[in-house]
Amino acid sequence: MEALNNLIKLINEPLVQFFLWVGVLFVIASIFVERRISFWISSVGATYFWIKYQDQTVALKAWLIIFTIFAVILILKQAFNLNVVLLLKGKKRCPMCCEEAYRKAKVCPHCGYRFVSEQDECKS
């Protein structure tokens, strides 16, 4: 029962409500347009309605969180040449055809490129 009360308290937080609205709008927009475009439609749409009918500082806090996440991903990509999205999906990009393949794959399923494993690199 206490977990349910904590969940209700969490849902009543304005920042959580903002992101729930972004999620709902994202699902609706995803039906009609591509995922990347639907993210921006849902984010900007939720921000517009939130600023118009709710507290503006909540929308600003939410965008600060969104931009912080983007900045961290960009820094990881630039500094360490690390693609966070592929890492989370458990995949890697084929250098020959640029398609995604599972991280443990030895051969690209799309073009047949043989990945050089780290063990093979050490031997040569």
The number of distinct structural domains making up the chain is 2
The residue range of the domain holding 69 is 2-82
* Mean pLDDT computed over every residue of the chain: 86
State whether 25 and 77 are in the same domain. yes
Looking at the fold, whether 117 and 59 belong to one and the same domain comes out as no
Claim to verify: residue 50 and residue 100 sit in the same structural domain: no
> 78: pLDDT confidence band, cut at 50, 70 and 90?
confident
Q: Where are the alpha helices (DSSP H) in 13-113?
A: 14-32, 35-53, 56-80, 84-89
pLDDT in the model for residue 65: 92
Q: Specify burial of residue 75 (Cβ count, 10 A radius: 0-12, 13-18, 19+).
A: exposed
Residue 122 has pLDDT above 50, yes or no: no
Q: Are residues 25 and 43 in the same domain?
A: yes
Between the CA of residue 47 and those of 28, 29, 69, 94, 119, what are the distances in Å? Answer: 16, 15, 17, 38, 49
Amino acid found at 49: F
Structure pTM? 0.62
Rounded CA-CA distance 99/102 in Å is: 10
7 and 67 inside one domain: yes
Residues 78 and 95 in one domain: no
Are residue 20 and residue 60 in the same domain, yes or no? yes
